[in-house]
């Protein structure tokens, strides 16, 4: 295990130099009040219309890698197809003035209900399966327009205060800043693949989580109201049954990838300075292997193990974006691959 941890430290050091460049070229999903769904390119702030959701008044977006993309249409929670933009009803709730929402890794959906008439906005937590809604508490701010879950905290954007943090168990909010005319900048708030914050409304911005400061990344956007990261598709396949020969496609070109091999499946949450709460479907890995992807974002790996090895599971991790491939396994390798 000590060797494995030392290996990961080396991988993170290598990957850290590439995260900013990769994030600048990432893609995002966004919605507006008309129910339109867009794809954004953060490199130049451009947007492409994907389609209409079939629902009006989309005022927020919530996303997690394990659960997908959600929004509110009045009091209805809808699931959004990132390929077509079409929305499917999930559950009806009594919350009809939701102005911001976020999903954490456990599948808890947090929603901010507009307090109206200058009163405090209200934080709720709900069960996506049953639609049960629990009141968490009032938030001592009254113009919240965007919400995101990052670690143990919720981050939100308030039109007067700018960036704030909210405690998940009480709703208590703390001002990060900056104060001023910031409402036009952020109506959608989302974290990138390495945990950094981004916001959008009329343009696309990177947000400093310590100061609340904005760095504009450009764009003339369509009055967006919800934002979420859109990960690229990374696929891992075994080239021949029981061969131990794997092919990875869709990774970042000329960047390090790790093939993680484990004797057991399961959700393993990996958190480091460069990859915040990355969910692996193997864990913990016992045989990590580092390779560089080629100029097409591809890599090949031949698994060589001793005869005593039992069934195995394999997953790839793109170390410049912190994105994972599908899991392959269980594998019962033939003698030639051992």
Separation between Cα atoms, residue 213 and residue 91, nearest integer Å:
36
Compute the Cα dihedral for 266, 314, 241, 237 and give only its sign.
Answer: positive
Where in the chain do CATH 2.60.40 domains reside?
A: 233-337
| Structure confidence by residue, pLDDT tens digits, 26-42 | 789 999 999 999 999 87
Q: What is the mean pLDDT of the chain?
A: 83
- pLDDT score of 124 more than 70: yes
**Could you tell me what percent of the chain has a pLDDT over 70?**
84
Question: What residues does CATH 2.120.10.30 cover in the chain?
Answer: 22-230
pLDDT for residue 1: 44
- Residue 269 CA to its chain's centroid (Å): 14
pLDDT band (50, 70, 90) for residue 98 = very high
Q: How many C-beta atoms lie closer than 10 Å to residue 329's C-beta?
A: 18
Residue 180: Cβ within 10 Å count = 10
What is the pLDDT at residue 270? 76
Fold classified for 233-337: Immunoglobulin-like (2.60.40)
The pLDDT of residue 219:
79
What is the structure's pLDDT at 127?
A: 87
Confidence of residue 193 (pLDDT cuts 50, 70, 90): low
Given this model, what pLDDT does residue 236 score? 86
Instruction: Write the DSSP string, 93-117.
Output: -S---EEEEEE-TT-PEEEEE---T
pLDDT at 3: 47
Mean predicted confidence (pLDDT) in 97-112:
92
User: What percent of the chain clears pLDDT 90, i.e. is strictly above it?
Assistant: 42
Question: Which pLDDT does position 196 carry in this prediction?
Answer: 81
Question: The domain 22-230: what is its CATH number?
Answer: 2.120.10.30
- What is the pTM for the complete model shown? 0.71
pLDDT tens digits for range 280-311? 888 877 678 899 999 888 899 888 765 556 78
């Amino acid at each position: 295990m000590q060797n494995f941890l030392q290996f990961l430290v080396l991988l993170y050091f290598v990957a850290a130099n590439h995260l900013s460049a990769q994030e600048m070229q990432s893609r995002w999903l966004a919605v507006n009040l008309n129910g339109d769904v867009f794809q954004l390119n953060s490199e130049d702030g451009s947007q492409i219309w994907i389609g209409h959701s079939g629902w009006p008044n989309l005022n927020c977006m919530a996303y997690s890698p394990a659960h997908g993309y959600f929004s509110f249409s009045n009091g209805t929670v809808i699931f959004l197809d990132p390929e077509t933009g079409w929305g499917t009803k999930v559950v009806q709730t009594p919350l009809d003035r939701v102005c911001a929402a976020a999903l954490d890794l456990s599948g808890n959906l947090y929603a901010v209900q507009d307090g109206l008439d200058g009163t405090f906005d209200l934080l709720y937590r709900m069960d996506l399966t049953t639609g049960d809604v629990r009141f968490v508490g009032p938030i001592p701010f009254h113009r919240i327009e965007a919400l995101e879950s990052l670690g143990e905290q919720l981050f939100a954007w308030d039109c007067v205060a700018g960036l704030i943090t909210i405690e998940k168990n009480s709703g208590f909010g703390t001002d990060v800043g900056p104060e001023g005319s910031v409402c036009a900048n952020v109506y959608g708030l989302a974290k990138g693949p390495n945990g950094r914050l981004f916001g959008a409304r009329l343009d696309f911005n990177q947000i400093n989580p310590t100061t609340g400061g904005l760095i504009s990344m450009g764009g003339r956007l369509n009055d967006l109201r919800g934002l979420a990261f859109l990960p690229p598709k990374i696929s891992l396949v075994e080239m021949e049954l029981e061969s131990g020969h794997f092919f990875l496609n869709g990774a970042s070109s000329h960047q390090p990838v790790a093939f993680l091999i484990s004797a057991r499946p399961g959700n393993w949450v990996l958190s480091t300075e460069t990859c915040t709460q990355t969910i692996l479907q193997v864990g913990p890995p016992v045989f990590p292997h580092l390779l560089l992807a080629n100029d097409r974002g591809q890599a090949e790996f031949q698994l060589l193990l001793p005869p005593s090895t039992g069934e195995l599971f394999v997953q790839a991790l793109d170390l410049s974006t912190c994105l994972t491939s599908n899991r392959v396994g269980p594998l019962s390798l033939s003698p030639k691959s051992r």
